[in-house]
Structure 1
Amino acid sequence: MTFIFEIGYIGFFFYMLVTNTFLPLPPQLVLLPAGYLAAQGQMDFATVSIITTAGTLAGALVSYSFANFIASKFFKTRKQKRKLTKIKYLFRKYGKATVLFSPVIPVVGLYVSIPAGIFRMPMVWFASLTYLSNFIWNVMMISLGYFFGEQAEQNIDYIMVGLSLLFITAFSVWGLYKLRVNKEEFSKDYYQSPIIYLHNNA
């Protein structure tokens, strides 16, 4: 870890890249100290936010591309492709929200690139949502290090649980809202159907 801090921004970039490939390294190990260093004037807050998020995106795209390649090699038979299509439909329906909220969901944030690649989520959407969500998350973590320094590092477990619960609650509320809207749209379409109209007025 000392070496990463010694080489500065480049070290942060590659640490975040590795974290988002196949090694489950906790990103807060560099994000919180980065905030503290920014508070001390040794780093620029905006630059470290952009660099760490760029590293996150680079690692996510590596995992995405690898998963996409594996899927194209192993899902070859018609039966396998049919099963993949069914799951792909579900991921396309909920995948954007999953990618958007993935940084605050334990474990999911590190590996969401794999299903996104397997089910071939459009790369533009994947890259955009990954960068946006992780930029917000990284800025939050860096801000904690900036304002609270060592106290943030000592209480990181409580902070992570609190933030995760907050975002999961927000995600649940959003999901319930979408479910209600979809249900209302279905009911509206159902009762506007010509067949239902003729049946009710027979």
Structure 2
Amino acid sequence: METLGGPGAGLAIALENLFPPLPSELILPLAGFTASRGDMTLFEALFWTTLGSVVGAVALYLIGAALGRDRVRAIAAKLPLVKLSDVDRTEAWFDRHGRKAVFFGRMIPIFRSLISIPAGVSGMSLPAFLLYTTAGSLIWNSALVLSGYYLGEKWHIVESYVGVLSKVILGAVLVAVVWWIVKRLRARREGQESR
């Protein structure tokens, strides 16, 4: 960020979208801190990080669009424990709540990147996707960039608090996945016993 300024912050966030293990809760406060030192303006930090978020999200949206509904269904049909009815329910849910999911998903660690793929698969209109992605990203980025800007040398504190939130969300997702697998295995076993 010191070398490339705002475009460097945008590039880092675009890569964070494509490779979620790169934590936005580290990159964004650092961009704010860099702005507080005068290496870029606060406006540049917000503009470039939001642009980077949108560029990364659009790349994932295009991957989802390229996969398409039929390919996703074909892949799901080959997965153990997954039923096509699961895909249908997920698709119906996304059709009803896709815009809210994209908007709020941009503010939830882990889901920030992943929400773009079902948006592309479902054929959500690109203008709507861009609108909700930009709005959600701007809110998330502003909160973390401003935190880093005002905390100055203590910008890294933000990562520890948001990192806890990320771990809680990841833990909840893992519990839900394990619960789903156990439920599906029980249903399969009961189906085999009733034959």
Using structure 1 for the length normalisation, give the TM-score: 0.68
For 2:73 and 2:105, the matched residues in 1 are separated by 29
- Indicate yes or no: 2:144 matched with 1:147: no
Aligned with 2:34 (options 32, 37, 46):
37
Aligned with 1:117 (options 117, 120, 125):
120
1:64–1:113 Cα contact (<8 Å) kept: yes
Quote how far apart the aligned CAs of 1:89 are: 2.3
Distance 1:163 1:20, change over 3 A: closer
2:25–2:158 Cα contact (<8 Å) kept: no
For 2:147 and 2:103, the matched residues in 1 are separated by 21
Q: Which residue of 1 is the match for residue 188 of structure 2?
A: none
Quote how far apart the aligned CAs of 1:157 are: 2.3
Quote how far apart the aligned CAs of 1:64 are: 0.4
Structure 1 residue matching 2:18: 3-state secondary structure: coil
For 1:101 and 1:160, the matched residues in 2 are separated by 18
130-139 or 81-90: which moved more? 81-90
Distance 1:98 1:73, change over 3 A: closer
Distance 1:37 1:74, change over 3 A: same
1:32–1:149 Cα contact (<8 Å) kept: no
Q: For 1:55-66, list aligned pairs within 5 A.
A: 55-66=52-63
The unaligned stretches of length 5 or more in structure 2 are 78-83, 169-195
- Choose 1 or 2 for highest CA Rg: 1
Q: Which residue of 1 is the match for residue 177 of structure 2?
A: none
Q: Which residue of 1 is the match for residue 137 of structure 2?
A: 134
Identity of aligned residues (%): 27
Q: What amino acid is aligned across from residue 146 of structure 1 in structure 2?
A: Y
Aligned-residue CA RMSD in angstroms?
Answer: 2.8
Quote how far apart the aligned CAs of 1:164 are: 11
Q: Which residue of 2 is the match for residue 103 of structure 1?
A: 106
1:12–1:51 Cα contact (<8 Å) kept: yes
